[in-house]
Amino acid sequence: MAIQWFPGHMHLTKQVITERIKAIDVVIELLDARLPGSSANPMLAQLTASRPTLKVLNKQDMADPLRTAPWLAHYNSQPGTCAIALDSSDTAAAQRLITSCRALAPLRGGMVKPMRVLICGIPNVGKSTLINSLVRKRAAKAADEAGVTKAEQRISLADDFYLYDTPGMLWPRIIVAKSGYNLAASGAVGRNAFDDEEVALELLDYLKNPYADRLQARYKLADVAQVSAMTDDELLTEIGRKRGALQSGGRVNTQKAAELVINDFRTGQLGAITLETPEEFALWLAAGQKLDAERQVKKDAIELNRLIKFKKIPRPPREES
Ligand code: G4P
């Protein structure tokens, strides 16, 4: 696995959510609209499975609208789930969240049965920014670096509408390799957990098909067909050359070029881009799950042999042929 991180405060957050979920009516799961599938925390899905969920595709201003629509349709077709897209410039965000949550839990409301909503998301998904804008004051302190722990907070969005905040949380083991790269490209994973060049090459490998025109325009590359035909290494080197990421002797500094590509993606310099469609993500997930199951079978076999070797359990009888 190329992307690895130490989940740090994960256990504490898990505990907080497990306790809190008992008195929660709706869960808001904040997703990154540029990578909705990859930014969904599978551990969170397990912890909150019993509650209706509002999926909020945040940072929609940076995502490809032609892809946001199918993602919304995908989530809206799931039972007990509703989806909306937002960004920090949305002045009606609070009202849209309140309306969607009320639709998911119509029996809640009024002072006797106030709506209790838990808001969750991975680091850097824009949760603090959204909460700050919802309460129009600095109720949630924006974290400087992905993975900073914050205590749970309660925010009133209306007299009978409480929002409980949780710390941004990643999960310990990603089984979808592509998700690791997409999370790293988006800035959800701390810098020490990945190699810039590897992430940039994966990013270019994806972008050069649906978004070759963006690469061509941003880096003033030859024609679009040529961009798609280049290998990832060639593309990174060419971008480095065009942008003057050079080292002594005039050779391209690929580390610098990689940082440049990642930064351009993160800051929207490549335009509104979405790194996965629902169909693509479903395929990646199925492949990741298959690989994970095979890995588990191998691990179990090694463990069984170890136990037999050290006579902790008897050798199973051989089958007659
Ligand atoms: P978190 O609490 O979920 O960890 O995320 P946070 O709100 O700190 O947001 C992470 C980064 O994403 C911030 O940028 C923030 O400005 C940006 N952001 C949040 N919501 C949106 C949105 O809807 N659209 C866009 N384009 N960006 C958004 P930063 O560069 O890390 O910090 P800053 O200097 O901009 O504050």
Ligand 1 atom nearest to 90, measured from its CA: 23
> Could you tell me the pLDDT band of residue 7, with boundaries at 50, 70 and 90?
low
Nearest CA to ligand 1 atom 27: 59
pLDDT over threshold 90, residue 29: yes
Taken in order of first residue, the domains within the chain and their CATH numbers are 8-165 (3.40.50.300), 195-266 (1.10.1580.10)
160 lines ligand 1 (CB under 6 A): no
* Span from the CA of 234 to the centroid of ligand 1 (angstroms): 32
Give the DSSP letter string of 113-181. B-EEEEEEE-TTSSHHHHHHHHHTS-SSPPPSSTT-----EEEEEETTEEEEE------S--S-HHHHH
* Span from the CA of 188 to the centroid of ligand 1 (angstroms): 11
pLDDT over threshold 90, residue 321: no
31 lines ligand 1 (CB under 6 A): no
Distance (Å, rounded) from C-alpha 98 to C-alpha 94?
Answer: 6
* Span from the CA of 142 to the centroid of ligand 1 (angstroms): 8
Q: Can you tell me the mean pLDDT for 24-34?
A: 98
* Span from the CA of 124 to the centroid of ligand 1 (angstroms): 6
Question: C-alpha angle with apex 205: 199 to 211, nearest 5 degrees?
Answer: 115
pLDDT over threshold 50, residue 141: no
20 lines ligand 1 (CB under 6 A): no
Which H or E run contains 26?
A: strand 26-32
pLDDT over threshold 90, residue 235: yes
> Above pLDDT 90, what percent of the chain?
64
125 lines ligand 1 (CB under 6 A): yes
Q: What is the pLDDT of residue 310?
A: 82
Residues 247-288: tens digit of each pLDDT: 989 899 999 999 999 999 999 999 999 999 999 999 999 999
Ranges 10-14, 163-167, 182-186: which has the least confidence: 10-14
Structure tokens given for 71: 């993602």
3 state DSSP class of 222: coil
Distance (Å, rounded) from C-alpha 272 to C-alpha 61?
Answer: 7
pLDDT over threshold 90, residue 296: no
Residues 39-49: tens digit of each pLDDT: 999 999 899 99
pLDDT over threshold 50, residue 147: no
Ligand 1 atom nearest to 131, measured from its CA: 7
Which H or E run contains 294?
A: helix 278-309
143 lines ligand 1 (CB under 6 A): yes
Distance (Å, rounded) from C-alpha 278 to C-alpha 294?
Answer: 24
65/305: higher pLDDT: 65
58 lines ligand 1 (CB under 6 A): yes
